[in-house]
Amino acid sequence: MRALVFTKASTVELQDLDEPRPAPGEVAIRVVASGICGSELHGVRHTDFRKPPLVMGHELAGTTADGRRVTVNPLLSCDSCDQCLRGDEHLCRNRAILGIHRPGAFAETVVVPEAAVYVIPDSMSFETAAMVEPLANAVHAVRLARPEGNPRIAVIGAGTIGLVTLLVALEHSDQVTISDLDEGRLAIASRLGGRAVTELTGEFDIVIDAVGAEQTHKISVDVLRPGGVAVWIGLLSTQAGFDGQEIVRSEKRVLGSYCYRRADFAEALEIAGRVRLDWTTTFPFESGAEIFGELLEGRRDVIKALLQP
């Protein structure tokens, strides 16, 4: 089969590999669409977390040998550690992630545990189904914020995670503002129903940072009302960047959001059927290495690239 392989820092290559065979309890999926995640663009610049040679890809949709149209929860938990037993399987001490710890979906075929497979509706396109995974991240982040009433919500960043967070936030409030410096992305955010701005002003009950830079960390805290909550989902910087005394004096809360619970993934699959996810761009699998390189070099006219083997 053909596969897009992370071979060394900042390099992915199209290669021919042996087709994987499922073990008991696993299923082979013929991939129809797979998304390039921002975490993969960051990850391939180094070899400390994702270890080459590696077939990446954790956002996918495809078909099984028995004809099911499916997507996959790529977060694989042990179901036996203390975190799993308390219902936080996304924080499993033994977790594995498709495309990081085992071969992923940048291939014509991927093998996954049967328990990770979710059947999609006949009315749902494979391109939409491949977006369920990023949407699940947004479901989890918004859930952590515990929106009540009609809260003033701000989303920082109008990339993929920012836009899906906007869509989920709009399920809870009609007062959702999204900020970015890219006018093209702001235009899409506005079309999706958000109040699109280049700079956040005023104050908000909830701020979700979908960028994760030191500067956006600071902004997320600065524009919070006293007692408000900031949820950090972006991973761009390791530096916090905010005033710790402001957290104390105004009882502001900062929460990290990582992946999602299975219930979040199931909810994302349901939400995907009614929100607008038509801002993706599809590319043939053969051009995957080229598209990866262009995105690494900063190509901005593509928010979410989907590869079609």
For residues 136-164, average pLDDT: 98
Task: Delimit the CATH 3.90.180.10 region(s) of the chain.
Answer: 2-131+277-308
Task: Delimit the CATH 3.40.50.720 region(s) of the chain.
Answer: 138-256
In this predicted structure, what is the pLDDT of residue 294? 95
44 contact partners, CB below 8 Å, separation of at least 6: 6, 9, 10, 11, 12, 50, 56, 292, 296
Hey, is 178 helix, strand or coil?
Answer: strand
Encode 202-228: b = buried (16+ Cβ within 10 Å), e = exposed. eebbbbbbbbbbeebbbbbbebbbeeb
247 contact partners, CB below 8 Å, separation of at least 6: 221, 253, 254
Q: Under a CB-based contact definition with an 8 Å cutoff, are residues 136 and 116 in contact?
A: no
In this predicted structure, what is the pLDDT of residue 165? 98
Average pLDDT in the chain? 96
Q: How far apart are CA 203 and CA 224, in angstroms?
A: 5
For residues 93-121, average pLDDT: 97
Q: How far apart are CA 95 and CA 75, in angstroms?
A: 7
Tell me yes or no: is domain 2-131+277-308 CATH 2.30.110.10.
no
Strand bridging mode 153-156 / 204-209: parallel
Give the CATH superfamily of 138-256.
NAD(P)-binding Rossmann-like Domain (3.40.50.720)
For residues 6-17, average pLDDT: 95
**Radius of gyration for the chain, computed over Cα atoms and rounded to the nearest angstrom:** 19
- pTM over the 0.85 mark: yes
Band (241; pLDDT cuts 50, 70, 90)? confident
Q: How far apart are CA 242 and CA 264, in angstroms?
A: 29
CA 221 to chain centre: 23
